Amino acid sequence: MLFMTTMWNMKKLILVVFLTLSCPRSNIKKIFEPDYLKEALQSFQYDPIYAYNILQNNIIDPAYIDEKFKILVKIYFDQREYERAAQLLDSINWSIEIDQDQAMLILLKTKRWQKITELTTDTLLKGIAYYQLGAYEEAVKYLTKPVKPGDYRGLYLAKTYCRLNDFEHALDVFLGIDSLSPYLFQEYQNLLFDILSNIKNIDIIKKESVQLKEQVLRDYIYLKIYEKENHIHR
């Protein structure tokens, strides 16, 4: 901590000397806040602590507060401090202009689903946000719109129908997914198992259960088939 404080003081001294030497002697009175903002913006990527201290210790004029917040968000985002970025933006009701992709990533990482529904124009993100909020009927409105990536949208739409206990619709959507990204494979398997565990059509269960790759899942489904065929109720 002592080392970091010393480094900060040295850098501040260097900044003062630089600004002093670069200005006419007769006009030297103080370092103005726009100069601090410029220095913080130039340095935040390679020395975020230095830039952070510049902003926190020197920017107090309301005229420059928005610019201060914008740079702080950049610092937090670069350092993957998404919760701190979100808390700062929450405190000002997301009133400053920031990169839309960065804003959405911050919201997704911090699971601020309601704010996503308010800010995004992306139908897939809006549908996912409504799903996460438990507003399944609203989620269906957005997830049924054909947007890419289709496999991701299809999985969420099928999951939404499952939440609505509409497993037939869920299966229709599920079977309509024509290609699958590798990172979605396990979620795909889990969803198929959930659907097959709840639909009533034995022929469909038999046909689609071969897609289950884990033997323990197939065995469970085969047991369900046996119980249905023999009218066994547990």
Can you give the pLDDT at residue 203? 86
Q: What is the pTM of this model?
A: 0.77
Residue 1: the pLDDT is 43
d(CA 204, CA 154): 19
Give me the pLDDT at residue 212, please.
87
Q: How far is CA 223 from CA 123, 202, 205, 206, 227, in A?
A: 40, 12, 11, 11, 6
Q: How many other CB atoms are found less than 10 A from the CB of residue 55?
A: 23
pLDDT of residue 9: 56
Look at residue 54 in the predicted model and tell me its pLDDT. 92
Tell me the C-alpha distance between 208 and 67, whole Å.
56
- At 197, give phi and psi (nearest 5°): -75, -15
Cα dist from 148 to 121, 183, 204, whole Å = 14, 16, 28
Question: Are the CB atoms for 82 and 105 separated by under 8 Å?
Answer: yes
Residue 141: per-residue pLDDT: 95
What pLDDT, on the 0 to 100 scale, is given for residue 199?
Answer: 86
pLDDT of res. 224: 79
- Given this model, what pLDDT does residue 14 score? 58
Q: What is the pLDDT of residue 219?
A: 85
Residue 3 has what pLDDT? 44
> Which residues of the chain fall short of a pLDDT of 70?
1-30, 231-234
Query: Residue 36 carries which side chain, given as an amino acid letter?
Result: Y
